[in-house]
Structure 1
């Protein structure tokens, strides 16, 4: 586990025929299947997700949803939700955690689902794709400037595997980062009781299998509860039969 602070630099923009305002981007409809982010008015295409990328995101959503439910937190975990970071910049993190009220505010507006500048999420997660610089440097600077409390980078790249957690420590105005490596457990500043295996994050099991195992445990628990109830009922019936027999013999069972 290591700590360091890295300055942010700007990302190279994609040359497009026009510059969009944030409002134009919210209503932008592309003529292809590519999803875009907005960086200083320029459209930035998002790479098509690999299967591993998809599995990592689904695993993190699953784990975070269970954590929020366990601690009864009025928060939501979403994919595909935009986060505006600057006047004419907006990102689409792989995973976003925010309050339910912020999600409803974003949903009440026409256009794309994007949290505005005054609607700061608690946590954003990016899974590294081909453009490492974008995730490690450019987006770090944007999320830090937007005062996102915690930014997590999951990097499954061979020979560079890590989970980097960046957060504001008390009184700080810049992120402090911690790298969690394979064999360790990832920690969180925003959710201090959250502990996740780095190995599982980088090579996650299928969420469908986790849900099946979860359901199997619930069924086993129900079975155990039913069995205990049946045993208690049987014991009660035996006690009642014994009491009735004693009364037939003229013995008060309560006095025995």
Structure 2
């Protein structure tokens, strides 16, 4: 499978057509098939979809483009995820720390991850801001594999970023995919609207409850979690 990779040399970016292959030891490597020329800077700044060619889930797991960028896979298309804002990052860290704290306090066998994907379809995989995973499920995966969970998460959290596309993605697209996946609880933390929406799965459908201000967050999965909406949004 060939794909386009960019490489930065002395502040200029260049495109190459490359493909992955496995060496005799089974390690994934890359070889250049063709030089495609320099990248237009204006195009590079606005590029969100990295390639028009659809990838399989297996190709996505081994995808390497030589950068530190993160991608979701949506119906076979690679979608670049921009870096989080400082507020976004602080909220993620605060919530993750709270989950880890109750896990320690009540000896819960869970993993709380901010860098793990979840497969949501045949050729789709998302990167939740926070994934809470059953410990036994986490241990069932090989440590040298790409960190994408194909089982059901216990809980997923997304922090909404500004922009119509990002809002639609978290409130609609991911809600639909997480519902279809069977994730029992999905948090949408929205610092723009100053609210937290918790979706709980019941008979295959999400029902939602919105929390604002000093409302105490009610999590069916983690009822011992004691937080208010304000505490999270002002993290």
Q: Same fold (TM over 0.5)?
A: yes
Report the Cα distance in structure 1 between the residues aligned to 2:68 and 2:216, rounded to whole angstroms: 37
Partner of residue 163 from structure 1, selected from 190, 196, 210: 196
Partner of residue 120 from structure 1, selected from 122, 131, 152: 152
* Pairwise CA distance, 1:122: 0.3
CA RMSD of aligned residues (A): 1.5
Any idea what SS the aligned residue of 1:168 has? strand
Report the Cα distance in structure 2 between the residues aligned to 1:23 and 1:60, rounded to whole angstroms: 31
The aligned residue for residue 88 of structure 2 is 53
Larger Rg: 1
The aligned residue for residue 150 of structure 1 is 185
* Pairwise CA distance, 1:47: 1.8
In the TM superposition, 1:59-78 aligns within 5 A as 59-78=94-113
Is 1:188 aligned with 2:223? no
Any idea what SS the aligned residue of 2:168 has? helix
Between the two structures, name the one with larger relative contact order (CA 8 Å, sep ≥ 6): 1
* Pairwise CA distance, 1:109: 5.2
Greater fraction of residues in strand: 2
Report the Cα distance in structure 1 between the residues aligned to 2:181 and 2:217, rounded to whole angstroms: 24
CA shift digits 1:217-239 (9 cap, x unpaired): xxxxxxxxxxxxxxxxxxxxxxx
Q: Structure 2: which 5+ residue stretches go unaligned?
A: 1-47
The aligned residue for residue 5 of structure 2 is none
4+ runs deviating over 4 angstroms: none
Report the Cα distance in structure 1 between the residues aligned to 2:173 and 2:54, rounded to whole angstroms: 19
* Pairwise CA distance, 1:106: 3.0
Partner of residue 161 from structure 2, selected from 129, 133, 151: 129
C-alpha change, 1:97 and 1:135, in structure 2 (3 Å) is same
Question: Is contact 2:53-2:77 (8 Å) kept?
Answer: yes
Question: Is contact 2:200-2:207 (8 Å) kept?
Answer: yes
Q: Structure 1: which 5+ residue stretches go unaligned?
A: 1-12, 205-256
Question: Is contact 1:78-1:96 (8 Å) kept?
Answer: yes
Report the Cα distance in structure 1 between the residues aligned to 2:118 and 2:64, rounded to whole angstroms: 18
Worse overlay, 29-38 or 72-81: 29-38
Report the Cα distance in structure 2 between the residues aligned to 1:200 and 1:192, rounded to whole angstroms: 17
CA shift digits 1:147-171 (9 cap, x unpaired): 00101010001xx1111100123xx
Greater fraction of residues in helix: 1
**Matched residues, number:** 185
Any idea what SS the aligned residue of 1:25 has? helix
* Pairwise CA distance, 1:76: 1.3
Report the Cα distance in structure 2 between the residues aligned to 1:180 and 1:58, rounded to whole angstroms: 20
Report the Cα distance in structure 2 between the residues aligned to 1:75 and 1:107, rounded to whole angstroms: 17
Report the Cα distance in structure 2 between the residues aligned to 1:105 and 1:21, rounded to whole angstroms: 23
Question: Is contact 1:162-1:179 (8 Å) kept?
Answer: yes
Report the Cα distance in structure 2 between the residues aligned to 1:106 and 1:51, rounded to whole angstroms: 32
The aligned residue for residue 40 of structure 1 is 75
